[in-house]
Amino acid sequence: ASSPQPSTSTPSSIPEPNTHYRITSRRSAISLGARIKGTLVALGLHRRMQTVYHRHDPETAGKILAVKELVEVENVPASAVRTKTEQRRERKAPRGFVVVRSKFPG
């Protein structure tokens, strides 16, 4: 019996490394201390459901740990990072209209 040959992977099949945190504020910081509010502001989070991206580094990881009960964190590759305007464009409804159903036969 011959041994199985190791599969040669193409560069496109190699998964992209996760280099950024996607941080989304899930809970409000109202009635919490000034240090917690300051940490959220330092991360760039000013309101609930706001999403920001930060590079992996120890300083950011420490800030996330300080507010871990208030935020949702996901590791993402650099290609998934979106700027503020890109996020707004993705949320925006497309212009124009779409006919879903017509009472008049076509």
Any idea which of 11-15, 68-72, 77-81 has the lowest mean pLDDT? 11-15
pLDDT at 77 (0 to 100): 96
Conformation bin of residue 47: beta by default, left when phi > 0, alpha when psi is -120 to 50: beta
User: Cβ distance 57 to 83 under 8 Å?
Assistant: no
Q: What is the mean pLDDT of the chain?
A: 90
Nearest to 83 by CA among 28, 22, 37: 22
